[in-house]
Amino acid sequence: MTVKVGVIGTGMIGQDHIRRLTEVLTGSSVVAVSDINKEQVEKIATAIGARTYTDGVALINDSEVDAVVVTSWGPTHEEYVLAAIAAGKPVFCEKPLATTQEACLRIIDAEVKHGKRLVQVGFMRRFDTAYRQMKDVVESGTIGAPLIFKSVHRNPSVPPSYTSDMAIVDTAVHDIDTARWLLDEEVKAVSVIAARKNNRGGTLRDPIIVLMEMESGAIVDIEVSVNIDYAYDIGGEISGETGVVTLAERNRITVKSGGEYRGKVTADWKERFVEAFDVEFKEWLDAAAKGTATGPSAWDGYAAAVVTDAGVEAAGTGNRIKVEMRDRPALYA
């Protein structure tokens, strides 16, 4: 079956997902695109032979559209995800699911009322081969019960519009979701400590450590450095009761010469996670073809919002902030 997809938001990642759906994967065709930028959307639609909309809700209600991808600006996500649920159509929503906890809960309530999963949230690390192998090791019991997860998230630089809170809400959010998924438990409390400032980042609070206490008592320590210059570098290590599992370096080759050895570090997140994005969309299409969704759920989007809110409060006040979440509905068991 070919899944006929409508894409709302044709900016940077929207265009990348359209390329993925039209040039990389089989089993889908992008039949409609929507953006408030009329000129941009028409150019993209012409290139792929899709219909254009300036109103995302009209795209969702197009009877030709089987499933929806939301890659517009974060504050628009709630409206489009709710409209997709109302239309009974599977929807892939880039993170954030919505920009407030309350909005995430409205989406959860709508999906629970609908009675089956339709929403997948764009936490692509869950589809990365190395992280999946790490999770397999944890679940196999090889390293015993996890005690500490150290996650490293380093960006070479960020644009001038990047704020200190974005280090938690936009950057650490991926590590937060990865921690919940790898350790298979919720976060109990969050603290944030800032290191001596990296002066390359001007007034930004950078780098920081986001310290999370998990329900089991395991600790998660996330380094977020967003002006570290040398490369985009992602690291992860879980210490368990009887062993350790570590993400290996990504380079395919190392070069030895002049008494040294060298390898490559990825330049940016697109390069580091390109295969993960492809797998993420392949699995989304497989589920969408059956009229449902798998992968990171609306519950995961809500949990991310609650934990990042706690992180922003912890960074602003210097306090340890308890994480309070609603009970998880059976749909997300």
Smallest distance from ligand NAP to CB 79, Å: 8
Nearer residue to ligand NAP within complex by CB, 125 or 137: 125
| C-alpha to C-alpha distance for 330 and 328, rounded to whole angstroms | 7
Name which of residues 143 to 202 contact ligand NAP (CB under 6 A).
Answer: none
Residue 225, Ramachandran bin (φ over 0: left; ψ between -120 and 50: alpha; else beta) = beta
> Contact region for ligand NAP (CB under 6 A) — 29-37, 147-155, 236-244, 259-267?
29-37
Would you count residue 94 as binding ligand NAP (CB under 6 A)?
A: yes
The site map against ligand NAP for 53-92 (x = CB under 6 A) is: ---x--------------xxxx-x----------------
100 in contact with ligand NAP (CB under 6 A): no
Q: Which of 3, 6, 28, 34 binds ligand NAP (CB under 6 A)?
A: 34
CA separation for the pair 47, 19 (Å, rounded): 11
Write down the least CB distance from residue 12 to ligand NAP, Å: 4
Residue 218: CB minimum distance to ligand NAP, A: 25
Interhelix angle 12-19/38-48, rounded to 10 degrees, is: 10
Please state, in angstroms and rounded to a whole number, the distance separating the CA atoms of residues 286 and 296: 15
State in angstroms the smallest separation of the CB of 269 from ligand NAP: 6
- Give the shortest CB-95-to-ligand NAP separation in angstroms: 5
C-beta of 34 vs 225, nearer to ligand NAP: 34
Does 10 engage in binding with ligand NAP (CB under 6 A)?
yes
Look at the chain and count its residues. Answer: 333
Nearer to ligand NAP, 35 or 62 (CB): 35
From 9-17, 106-114, 152-160, 318-326, give the range in contact with ligand NAP by CB under 6 A. 9-17
- Return the number of the residue (12 or 253) whose C-beta is nearest ligand NAP: 12
Is the bond preceding residue 329 a cis peptide, omega within 30 degrees?
A: no
The Cα–Cα gap between 293 and 122 comes to 12
| 260: β partners | 257
Nearest C-alpha neighbor of 137 from the set 243, 221, 236, 235: 243
Please work out the total of residues on this chain that contact ligand NAP, with binding judged by CB under 6 A: 22
Of the candidate residues 6, 90, 122, 236, the single one contacting ligand NAP (CB under 6 A): 122
Closest to ligand NAP by CB, 14 vs 201, is: 14
Composition of the chain by helix, strand, coil, percent to 5: 40, 25, 35
How does 271-305 read in b/e, with b if 16+ C-beta sit within 10 Å?
A: ebbeebbebbbbbbbebbbeeebebbbbbbbbbbb
Could you tell me if 233 and 227 are in contact, meaning their C-beta atoms sit under 8 angstroms apart? Answer: no
The Cα–Cα gap between 143 and 22 comes to: 41
Residues that bind ligand NAP (CB under 6 A): 8-14, 34-37, 56, 71-74, 76, 94-95, 122, 124, 269
